Amino acid sequence: MIDDQRAAGAVVGSAVGDALGAPFEFGPAGAFSSRFAVSAPGGEMCGGGGWDAGEATDDTQMAVMVAESLLERGGLDLPDIFARFQRWAASEPKDIGVQTEDVLTNGMPWDLASAVHFQVNLRAAGNGSLMRAATSAVYFARDGRQATMDAARRISALTHGDGAAWEGTVIFHELVRLALAGDDPLAALPEILTHVDAHHRERYEAVLAPTWHPDDATEFNGAVWPCLGSAVWAVRTTTSFEAAVRAAVDLGGDTDTVAAVTGGLAGAIHGLDAIPTRWTEPLHIPLPGHAGRVLRLPEMLDLTRRLTA
């Protein structure tokens, strides 16, 4: 059984984290809490750095495109998702990951583009496929673990040729699936890790360990391992959606994506009701390449309803 409140929490929570973190991208740790004290809530959806207040970025835009493909195609149609990404990438979105842009514009067919990019560049373990996973995690949750993990790998592989990015996305999908079923996803991490590809298991065991702290990261949090590790840390060390997402943005660095991943997981655990309305009210998701469409909370809730129908 999928809990609708939690499904909406995952999709909206990820978008809220994205929009909240966007103005702080590449900033220092602590920038968010020094500007917005916990004791005086309000105004946190501040905009800046080219973003309007409440404006979600490429993380959420890509998650919406995946959702609309799944719904309109009646399931996983990888060439269709890739074509939607390409149309969007050609429409000059305000932000797009370096790796993602290269794969979507290198002229290769959908089933070769990311592999060729990885062969040439040798590094493709960015967080750019993890960041957009909330909608597909919700959609595949009802189909169980194997279908969830398989879909996560294949959608990730559209833009990321490194299996490390696939496995991080797999873990996120499975955490969300368990949360939507009412289980404790963090308690299941040791078991989830047994289903992770053996080549990548050790690094995920490290960043997902209860004793791991984001300061222990060996890469910038734009990489998939510390991004997922930081999101799990933020959820594990807090007791509310708000506190988890604040902690994520406060880490600095790739704040929109770390907060999007955190918000997706925290929303799946705490549910839609736990997301402050002062954060959902200004939330909006422009969709470049989609004739000026802008999604707001009602459209995101409608999208989630259809993903779980």
**Beta carbon of residue 256, minimum distance to Mg ion (angstroms, whole number):** 4
**Beta carbon of residue 169, minimum distance to Mg ion (angstroms, whole number):** 16
Residues contributing to the annotated binding site for Mg(2+) = 57-59, 254, 256-257
Using the minimum distance from each CB to Mg ion, give the nearer residue, 15 or 124: 15
**Beta carbon of residue 57, minimum distance to Mg ion (angstroms, whole number):** 3
- The stretch among 29-37, 55-63, 118-126, 301-309 that binds Mg ion (CB under 5 A) is 55-63
Using the minimum distance from each CB to Mg ion, give the nearer residue, 141 or 228: 228
Q: How many of the chain's residues bind Mg ion (CB under 5 A)?
A: 5
Footprint on residues 189-228 left by Mg ion (CB under 5 A): none
- The stretch among 89-97, 148-156, 189-197, 271-279 that binds Mg ion (CB under 5 A) is 89-97
Distance CA 258, CA 89 (A): 22
Using rule CB under 5 A, residue 59 touches Mg ion: yes
How big is the chain by its Cα radius of gyration, in Å? 17
Distance CA 180, CA 162 (A): 28
- The stretch among 29-37, 100-108, 183-191, 256-264 that binds Mg ion (CB under 5 A) is 256-264
Is there a contact between 45 and 271 (Cβ–Cβ < 8 Å)? Answer: no
Using the minimum distance from each CB to Mg ion, give the nearer residue, 180 or 283: 283
**Beta carbon of residue 142, minimum distance to Mg ion (angstroms, whole number):** 28
Using the minimum distance from each CB to Mg ion, give the nearer residue, 46 or 189: 46
Using rule CB under 5 A, residue 256 touches Mg ion: yes
Written as one letter, the residue type at 176 is V
DSSP state of 126: B
By C-alpha distance, which of 151, 146, 145 is closest to 66?
Answer: 151
Residue, CB closest to Mg ion: 57
Distances from the Cα of 221 to the Cα of 1, 79, 110, 226, 257, angstroms: 34, 29, 27, 5, 9
Residues contributing to the annotated binding site = 57-59, 254, 256-257
Using the minimum distance from each CB to Mg ion, give the nearer residue, 100 or 304: 100
Using rule CB under 5 A, residue 55 touches Mg ion: no
Distance CA 29, CA 146 (A): 37
- The stretch among 49-57, 171-179, 192-200, 280-288 that binds Mg ion (CB under 5 A) is 49-57
**Beta carbon of residue 207, minimum distance to Mg ion (angstroms, whole number):** 21
Of 57, 129, 230, 262, which lies in the binding site for Mg ion, with binding defined by CB under 5 A? Answer: 57
- The stretch among 54-62, 84-92, 193-201, 214-222 that binds Mg ion (CB under 5 A) is 54-62
**Beta carbon of residue 58, minimum distance to Mg ion (angstroms, whole number):** 4
DSSP string across 261-272: HHHHHHHHHH-G
Helices (H), the chain: 4-21, 31-35, 58-73, 78-89, 98-105, 113-121, 134-140, 144-157, 163-180, 189-193, 198-207, 224-236, 241-249, 255-270, 277-280, 297-308
Q: Which residues contact 280 (CB under 8 A, 6 or more apart)?
A: 12, 16, 297
**Beta carbon of residue 1, minimum distance to Mg ion (angstroms, whole number):** 32
- Buried-state track 125-149, b at ≥16 Cβ within 10 A, e below 16: bbbbbbbbbbbbbbbbbbeebebbb
Residues that bind Mg ion (CB under 5 A): 57-59, 95, 256
